[in-house]
Amino acid sequence: MPHPPVLLVFNHIGARDPNRTVSRLIELTRYLWEEQRQRGGYYLYDGKTPIVATGLRNLRQHGPAGPVFLRFGRDHPATEHQGVPAEPPGGEAQGRQPC
């Protein structure tokens, strides 16, 4: 059974840079969300937890339907449906092809 996604929403307050914080969280949580590469260019997500981050400023500016969600392991923000699919394309067991 797939794990539900975790959504982290950051509010930039004070001197901390949220971009550095997200980069650090990506590294610290890699074992939780990183897929396993399979033969044929597919990825396996069994037992992994999708982690998605966004900033409160982006949510206010673009709304929850905008491209504001960064799924850990991806290189660009996406909309909610692109960033947090119900399951990876091809199903949980089959994994997904490279983006």
**Residue 27 pLDDT more than 90?**
yes
Q: Range of 10's domain?
A: 6-83
Q: Is residue 1 part of a domain?
A: no
Q: Is residue 94 part of a domain?
A: no
pLDDT value, residue 9: 92
Distance CA 97, CA 43 (A): 6
pLDDT value, residue 85: 56
Q: Is residue 99 part of a domain?
A: no
Q: Is residue 54 part of a domain?
A: yes
Q: Is residue 73 part of a domain?
A: yes
**Residue 1 pLDDT more than 70?**
no
**Residue 76 pLDDT more than 50?**
yes
Lowest mean pLDDT of 16-20, 39-43, 52-56, 57-61, name the range. Answer: 16-20
| 77-to-15, 21, 37, 58, 93 alpha-carbon distances in Å | 24, 16, 22, 11, 25
Q: Is residue 31 part of a domain?
A: yes
Q: Could you give the number of structural domains in the chain? A: 1
Q: Is residue 47 part of a domain?
A: yes
